[in-house]
Amino acid sequence: MFALNTPAPVSALNLLNLSTIVEPNGPVYNGPGATKHFTPFHLRQLEYHQREAIERAKKYAMEQSIRAVLLKQTQSQQSQQLDNMKKNQTVALLNRVYVGSISYDVKEEMLKQSFSVFGPIKTVSMSWDPATQKHKGFAFLEFEYPEGAHLAIEQMNGTSFGGRQLKVGRPSNLASADPIIAELVAEYKLENRIYVSGIHLDLTEDDVSLVFEAFGKIVFCRLQPDPSRPIGHRGFGYIEYENGQSAMDAVASMNQFELGGQLLRVCKAISPPDGITSTTTSALPPAAAVAAASVTAKVMSMETEQVRFCICASDFTSKLMEKLLRRKLFHKPLFSPPLVQ
């Protein structure tokens, strides 16, 4: 038995039941009801050379981040420019038409005037023989839009012109245009769009829409503006329907249809009305790229610092708990209570 008024020994089991509250950002108190001992909590202060190393690492990480953003932007721009260059070269090939078996009496201006009903022509190149002072009987025409070249090949090949039958086709450096046309139609989603040329200059977009809406609901009708006339057009444009069947019906019914005293030339659209350059994405300015990289590096640095602090605090807390528990379990009293005889 124990003597009266002497504290009973604290068993290890009771010590295990004592709760310990550890607050990393404040003081540490040992157990409810026990004497509260103030224990300050501080993380270890870094030395000067360690702080310098951290700052150098942060600076290097930010520089690498900015360099990576700028490199990615440059590669994206180069890839986009290369892609657009290839598309422009492809469309340029589709714009060219070979015309053979031309009568020697046919002049360049006559040829241009006859083919311009399909669309505006950029250039007409006729081979000239200096010995005979005549052309060699063939020429190359370059249209502004591939639809004009497509219609010219479709409707002028084999026709009589100047007493001879013309041979109209693709240049020899373009073996087959069908796969390229199909790729352009699929990429720009042109299944519902048609090209119309030979439009009388006095007709308006509303007039053309009124005629073509008989085949289905029209999304838009856009005639190419004429810079020389404020409210005029150049005699061709694009019409887009809500579905592809309406576009097919319009091509089948309206091609070579007389409207306003002129024959319309209608085919499926091949290129977008605004040209390929309209699809180029705007590049991110260098200043914006640097700012974006700087913010990204700062956020990553803050996240890394927060994770490091949590790890250090958790490790310190677990070690402190282990140390306190070990002291309580193995602490021996300063005196042994006397036994009652």
Q: How far is CA 159 from CA 94, 115, 117, 188, 272, in A?
A: 21, 12, 15, 33, 30
Residue percentage of the chain with pLDDT more than 70 = 67
Tokens of 21: 């509250």
Pick from 253, 257, 232, 227: nearest CA to 241: 253
The model's confidence at residue 116, banded by pLDDT at 50, 70 and 90, is: very high
Tokens of 167: 């041979």
Could you give the CA distance from residue 304 to residue 54 in angstroms, rounded to a whole number? 12
Could you give the CA distance from residue 330 to residue 6 in angstroms, rounded to a whole number? 20
Q: Any idea what the Cα angle at residue 13 is, between residues 7 and 17, rounded to 5°? A: 95
| Residue 336 predicted with pLDDT over 60 | no
193 neighbors 247 (Cβ within 8 angstroms): yes
Q: Round the CA-based radius of gyration of the chain to a whole number and report it.
A: 42
User: What digits encode the pLDDT tens for the residues 144-200?
Assistant: 999 999 999 999 999 999 899 999 999 887 767 788 888 888 888 899 999 999 999
Pick from 253, 147, 236, 242: nearest CA to 192: 242
Rounded-to-10 torsion of CA 174, 178, 182, 183:
-20
Q: Any idea what the Cα angle at residue 111 is, between residues 108 and 113, rounded to 5°? A: 110
Tokens of 104: 């020697």
| Residue 260 predicted with pLDDT over 50 | yes
Q: Is 59 exposed, middle or buried (0-12, 13-18, 19+ CB in 10 A)?
A: exposed
Residue percentage of the chain with pLDDT more than 90 = 43
| Averaged pLDDT, 23-28 | 56
Average model confidence (pLDDT) across the chain? 79
The DSSP string of 41-75 is --PPPPPHHHHHHHHHHHHHHHHHHHHHHHHHHHH
The model's confidence at residue 124, banded by pLDDT at 50, 70 and 90, is: very high
- The residue whose two tokens read 């990480």 is 61
The DSSP string of 206-257 is HHHHHHHGGGS-EEEEEEEE-TTSTT-EEEEEEEEESSHHHHHHHHHHHTT-
| Averaged pLDDT, 192-220 | 96
pLDDT of residue 167: 96
User: What digits encode the pLDDT tens for the residues 90-110?
Assistant: 788 899 999 999 999 999 999
| Residue 14 predicted with pLDDT over 70 | no
